[in-house]
Amino acid sequence: MSTATQTFAEKIAKAQDFLPINGTDYIEFYVGNAKQAAHFYKTAFGFQSVAYAGPETGVRDRASYVVQQGKIRLVFTTAMKSNHPISEHVKLHGDGVKVLALWVDDAYKAFEETTKRGGKPYLEPITLQDEHGELKMSGIFTYGETVHMFIERKQYKGAFMPGYEKWESTYNPTDTGLLYVDHCVGNVGWNRMLPTVKWYEDVMGFVNILSFDDKQINTEYSALMSKVMSNGNGYAKFPINEPAEGKKKSQIEEYLEFFEGEGVQHIAVATNDIVKTVKELKARGVEFLSAPPNAYYEMMDERVGKIDEAIAPLQELGILVDRDEEGYLLQIFTKPVEDRPTLFFEIIQRKGAQSFGAGNFKALFESIEREQAKRGNL
């Protein structure tokens, strides 16, 4: 069977199973002010308070706030002093993702299997204990300074992990319908996509399930290349982007310049009702990229065929729609969530489709370029 006619399920079946992954455990951001970042994600995105670690819980050098919505768990961490690796990270990159943590059954074996295949150690396996049980963790570096942590929590019943206390807040905004992390995209430098893809294949046992070259992803001005890497059950999907030559500066180059290195470009989070979720996020102040021109919606029936949703609310909110062999998907992208034009979020609702919205790339990139132009970076 040729690659083109294989379903995603058939493609990921080729992944190696030396690193079983149950899903994303958490995503940790290093930020300048974790208290305020946590407040923003509670207020604007509807995350709920879960756990806290800091001087009051015996952690002297940092403060961390854990928030959760559905299965999505985010951690915001700030160092207490300038002379600290977390402060160095924030100085160089601004607020951004440091850790993409994966939920595994065996953190010791995950470390052993990945490091023997060439993974660079970040954290040797350790067992943490408190009155709620024990949690095992280890970690390796991936692109840039980003880390994959392996978390084994089957013997742990506490709020998050030892060192953290349950965070009971009097401020609990309602959720916005976000369910789980669908995929996390990394931006890498020139000629770095193929080595990064090979790293995911060799070290993590992932497979490449989808590829786009600069002929497919381009606008009048800029271009990029992308390859989607997945583990064997599809619970961990990491697309990798590399800039490509265009008339003007690619959005990936802009990211690399302002993040000052390779790193996480966007986190896609799933919902079962994208219209309701996006209306709620907008009402709470989350900023989205501008809607594509009216022609995009006028041609929708022709391009994607029948869908369950009414077009008018999609058009009003600027939600994009794409179809593949297995179904369709709805998606929309926020503006960067920091002042540096780096990390942003994608809200996605899948209705059968397992792909990533390639049919929307042109409309999406033109919208991003309008923002780049406003920043003077196109």
Residue ranges in contact with Fe ion by CB under 5 A: 268, 346
38 or 278: whose CB is closer to Fe ion?
278
Tokens linked to 71? 């299965």
Q: How far is the CB of 291 from Fe ion (least distance, A)?
A: 18
268 or 275: whose CB is closer to Fe ion?
268
Q: In 3-state terms, what secondary structure has residue 294?
A: helix
28 or 346: whose CB is closer to Fe ion?
346
d(CA 360, CA 319): 10
153 or 183: whose CB is closer to Fe ion?
183
In which residue are the tokens 């993702």 written? 97
Q: What would you measure as the largest C-alpha separation in the chain, in angstroms? A: 60
DSSP 3-state helix, strand, coil percentages of the chain (rounded to 5)? 30, 35, 35
Q: Please, what's the b/e burial string for 228-238 (b: 16 or more CB within 10 A of its CB; e: otherwise)?
A: bbbbbebbbbb
Cβ atoms within 10 Å, residue 112: 15
Q: How far is the CB of 58 from Fe ion (least distance, A)?
A: 39
Q: How far is the CB of 268 from Fe ion (least distance, A)?
A: 4
78 or 334: whose CB is closer to Fe ion?
334
Q: How far is the CB of 43 from Fe ion (least distance, A)?
A: 24
74 or 268: whose CB is closer to Fe ion?
268
242 or 346: whose CB is closer to Fe ion?
346
Tokens linked to 83? 């002379």
Q: How far is the CB of 346 from Fe ion (least distance, A)?
A: 5
In which residue are the tokens 């196109």 written? 378
47 or 238: whose CB is closer to Fe ion?
238
Name 286's Cβ contacts closer than 8 Å, sequence gap at least 6. 44, 45, 334, 345
Radius of gyration of the chain measured on its C-alpha atoms:
20
The residues facing 23 across adjacent strands are 103
Q: How far is the CB of 357 from Fe ion (least distance, A)?
A: 7
Q: How far is the CB of 307 from Fe ion (least distance, A)?
A: 19
The residues facing 351 across adjacent strands are 328
Q: Are 241 and 188 in contact (CB under 8 A)?
A: yes
Name 70's Cβ contacts closer than 8 Å, sequence gap at least 6. 175, 178, 179, 180
Q: How far is the CB of 220 from Fe ion (least distance, A)?
A: 22
